[in-house]
């Protein structure tokens, strides 16, 4: 488990249509504790995905810095795993081969990387699908493979960009419960981007609300684990927290 620190992180770019510089992210400072699950919400265009891409190393910061365990991020690296909205699985590889891909790129021997892959497939209840190909799986199963593929590389920080947005509501709720179960067992530091206020409150220890490229507020979520939708959907504390986060997002 490693900490993640954003220190006055900013991103500007030139907009050819406006003919001027645009600030997408403005001096965002944030500390995510080791093993913490943080959700980031806010209206479209507030900088959520831009921040995630800078943490991942896909985009350079215009100013400020990202630190993982005290080390400055200069580009992509195996210390940060990313799960996208699209499943992004290799269609020509089996489920086992997809999950073993990260360890393979790290030079781990075939027998050991397959052992690692099977361990994570078992963790996600996917052992029976090891020999199948992505097109033989449902959308929900494909996204579960995407999550454990990122975890199998043992990242210090797991970055998730609306990973459940493309599945139906029932599958989404099941995936949220599954993610929390895996997180409770592995305690990986997680940053989760979402538009869904209820999803953010259900998953996170803390919800960060962005507005116009900067942090508007932070809201602690003191709900006990394990969390299940059946127990929380009518819970007054859950409803109150969701309403508070929604109010902050609307004000943004």
Dmax (CA) of the chain: 55
Question: pLDDT tens, 10-44?
Answer: 999 887 877 788 889 999 999 999 999 999 999 88
**Neighbour count for residue 110 (Cβ, 10 Å):** 10
Nearest to 31 by CA among 62, 51, 6: 6
Domains, the chain, in order of start with CATH, read 1-79+157-167+186-252 (3.40.50.300), 87-154 (no CATH)
| pLDDT at residue 160, rounded to an integer | 93
* Residue with more model confidence, 15 or 203: 203
Q: Residue 28: beta bridge partners?
A: 9
Q: Looking at the predicted structure, is the pLDDT value of residue 230 above 90?
A: yes
Torsion angles phi and psi, residue 211, rounded to 5: -145, 120
Please state the pTM of the whole predicted model: 0.90
For CA atoms 215, 220, 225, 230, give the dihedral sign: negative
> What are the tens digits of pLDDT across the range 97-142?
999 998 888 888 999 999 999 988 888 888 999 999 999 998 888 8
Q: Give yes or no for residue 45 having a pLDDT over 90.
A: no
Alpha-carbon span 12 to 16, nearest angstrom: 13
pLDDT: which is higher, 221 or 185: 221
pLDDT of 87 > 80? The answer is no
């Amino acid at each position: 488990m490693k900490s993640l620190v954003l220190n006055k992180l900013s991103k500007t770019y030139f907009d050819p249509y406006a003919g001027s510089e645009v600030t997408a992210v403005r001096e965002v400072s944030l500390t995510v504790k080791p093993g913490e699950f943080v959700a980031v919400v806010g209206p479209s265009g507030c900088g959520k995905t831009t921040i995630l891409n800078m943490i991942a190393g896909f985009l350079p910061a215009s100013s400020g810095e990202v630190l993982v365990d005290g080390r400055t991020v200069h580009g992509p690296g195996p210390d940060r795993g990313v799960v996208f909205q699209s499943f992004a699985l290799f269609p020509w590889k089996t489920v086992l081969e997809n999950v073993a891909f990260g360890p393979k790129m790290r030079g781990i021997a075939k027998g050991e990387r397959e052992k690692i892959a099977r361990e994570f497939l078992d963790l996600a209840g996917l052992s029976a699908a090891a020999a199948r190909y992505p097109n033989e799986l449902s959308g929900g199963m494909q996204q579960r493979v995407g999550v454990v593929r990122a975890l199998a590389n043992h990242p210090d920080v797991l970055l998730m960009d609306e990973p459940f947005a493309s599945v139906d509501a029932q599958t989404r709720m099941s995936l949220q419960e599954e993610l929390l179960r895996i997180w409770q067992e592995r305690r990986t530091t997680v940053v989760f981007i979402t538009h869904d206020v209820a999803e953010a409150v259900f998953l996170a220890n803390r919800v960060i609300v962005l507005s116009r490229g900067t942090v508007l507020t932070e809201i602690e979520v003191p709900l006990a684990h394990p969390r299940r939708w059946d127990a929380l959907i009518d819970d007054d504390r859950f409803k109150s927290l969701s309403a508070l986060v929604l109010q902050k997002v609307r004000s943004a």
